[in-house]
Amino acid sequence: MRLRLLIVDDEILVRIGLKTIIPMGGDEFEVVGEAVSGKEALAILEETPCDIVLTDIRMPDMDGLELLKHIHERWPQTKTFILSNHSDFAYVQTALRLGAAEYMIKLEIEPQELMRKLRDVRDKLLAEREKRIEVSQLESKVSRYGREVKEKRLRELLLRPSTRRETEEWLGEFDVPPFQAGLVVTVAEIRTYAGLLERNRFQSERLLQFTVANVLAEILKKYGGGELASLDNGRFAIVQRTFSLTMIEEMDRAVGTFLKLSLRFGVSRPDHTIYGLHAACLEALEALEHLFYGGGELEGRVMRRADVPDYAAVPATGDQAVHEEQWDRLIEAQDEAGMQRLLQSWTAAVLAAPSIRPSAVREQWIQLANCFARCLKQEGADIYAVTLHDGRYPYHVIRQAETLEHIRDWFHGWIPVFLEYRRQHGRHKWRSEVQTVVRLVQERLHLPLKVSELAAEIGFTENYLSILFKKETGETLTDFMTRVRMKKARELLKNPETKIYEVSEQVGYADPNHFSRSFKQLEGMYPTEFRKLALGKA
């Protein structure tokens, strides 16, 4: 790395002599300028930063000592060499006090000695620069670590009940304003979050969270500040003294403009105390959940907890309940018109009086999907084998759709798909070769099966087997293998003693992450969530 040098002397022969001594083509030094006075030198330094300045003391307009004073004040990292015709001790003392690295008598300068001293200063400068970089990196790391710890502690205060002491420790350790006049918590959620992760637009979930959090944090500063914490599943908690719909609109607009994403928001009641962060967060999450029914502000994407009714403590009854016997009769009779009418009237009844917790409504839809599944099971078929509608499976839609209307609309399109599959494949006996392949898959689901290997085993080409299997069963062989594996996985997950990675291995997945993603595509939840639900711990 070459250091930049400036030569300051009103004698042209001295300047020429110094440029002759200092190698111009090497990788150590570069003479970037010459000046005949202190004023001219300052003008050059304003435009061109220098590492070392070699300057005379006696010059017109501004002498070397005054120049040295300016350099010491404005560019303290720049090293200076004083070159003088005087060996007066007072000059030396003044120059060194002002920060000169060296004081040399012009008439006594030896080229080798000058270069040795320049190289010594170069080594010191480079060492100092490296030290500053290390310190800067350390400070940045400490600052980042501090922010991460602060956010982690805030997340804990929001997501679980905490003691007064824990809250005060967080306030004191990170010098957080105590929100003495009260506070409100807003939870922002990235819409269609699961789909974003599947499409992998942001390379990783961590990068997606980090990017959105940065945008929200910048806008939060603009509106007087507050606290921000990333939660799970594409959610962010915002803690402020008061709620600002204008700020929420700007956050949504910014995320849409810069990241092509959309947000929705749940807002707690106002005037919670700092010791009620968890209660406020629960209210914001309840408000967010109520968007399942639609309504709210900002085109149905902002819901305040004050506008959410108290949910009934008893299960839905009458028109709001799913009547399984009625659905069973319609499915058995393949009465599409009757199913569509019942679907519309049931949904309309729930939307007219949204007094049931959305999670309970989703469970009713699970019951409905089970009606369709039972019908196929009696005929030796499987609901997971039904041709995908809009690229999704029933249970995935029920658990992941943002609104009740989205679920209703999807089932409206899926019912005819289901009936067509049943007409073609219900009670249909497959060809012996296909039955053999089915048996092999069921026996070897713990192995990394390949279609080509199965085809070779029964004497078919891979392409012919794929076409035949699809024609006979209505699904691809790859989808069938996935379905069989996930069916076994659901059974294994009901045993709490079996680790998730063990379940993955037993159904033929070497990578547990790949297994989890595949499982969620069918069920709308990860294996860990399914296990909690199956064991009654959700």
8 Å CB contact between 268 and 302: no
CATH no. for 432-534: 1.10.10.60
SS3 of 412, please?
Answer: helix
Q: For residue 471, what pLDDT is reported?
A: 85
SS3 of 452, please?
Answer: helix
Give the separation between CA 318 and CA 65, rounded to whole angstroms.
96
Work out the burial of residue 233: count CB atoms within 10 Å of its CB; fewer than 13 is exposed, 13-18 middle, 19 or more buried: exposed
**Listed residue (52, 51, 93, 45) closest to 70, CA to CA:** 45
H helices of 109-259, in order, are: 111-159, 164-173, 193-199, 205-222, 245-259
pLDDT in tens, 120-163: 888 888 888 888 777 666 655 544 556 788 899 999 999 999 99
SS3 of 77, please?
Answer: coil
Give the separation between CA 322 and CA 56, rounded to whole angstroms.
95
Q: 3-109: which CATH architecture?
A: 3-Layer(aba) Sandwich (3.40)
8 Å CB contact between 385 and 421: yes
Half-sphere exposure (Cβ direction) of 350: Cα atoms closer than 13 Å: 28
Return the number of other C-beta atoms located less than 10 Å from residue 535's C-beta: 12
Q: For residue 428, what pLDDT is reported?
A: 64
Q: Quote the pTM value.
A: 0.66
Give the separation between CA 348 and CA 319, rounded to whole angstroms.
9
SS3 of 183, please?
Answer: strand
**Listed residue (436, 429, 433, 445) closest to 486, CA to CA:** 445
Q: For residue 389, what pLDDT is reported?
A: 93
Give the separation between CA 451 and CA 468, rounded to whole angstroms.
12
pLDDT < 70 stretches in the chain = 24-26, 86-91, 135-146, 199-203, 314, 426-428, 537-538
SS3 of 385, please?
Answer: helix
Give the separation between CA 191 and CA 199, rounded to whole angstroms.
14
Give the separation between CA 448 and CA 445, rounded to whole angstroms.
8
Give the separation between CA 462 and CA 449, rounded to whole angstroms.
13
83 phi/psi in degrees, rounded to 5: -115, 125
Q: Which residues pair with 155 in a beta bridge?
A: none
8 Å CB contact between 333 and 279: no
Q: Which residues pair with 187 in a beta bridge?
A: 237, 266
Q: 149-307: which CATH architecture?
A: 2-Layer Sandwich (3.30)
Give the separation between CA 210 and CA 231, rounded to whole angstroms.
11
**Listed residue (157, 117, 118) closest to 237, CA to CA:** 157
Measured CA angle at 503 (ends 497, 504), to 5 deg: 150
Give me the amino acid identity at 53: V
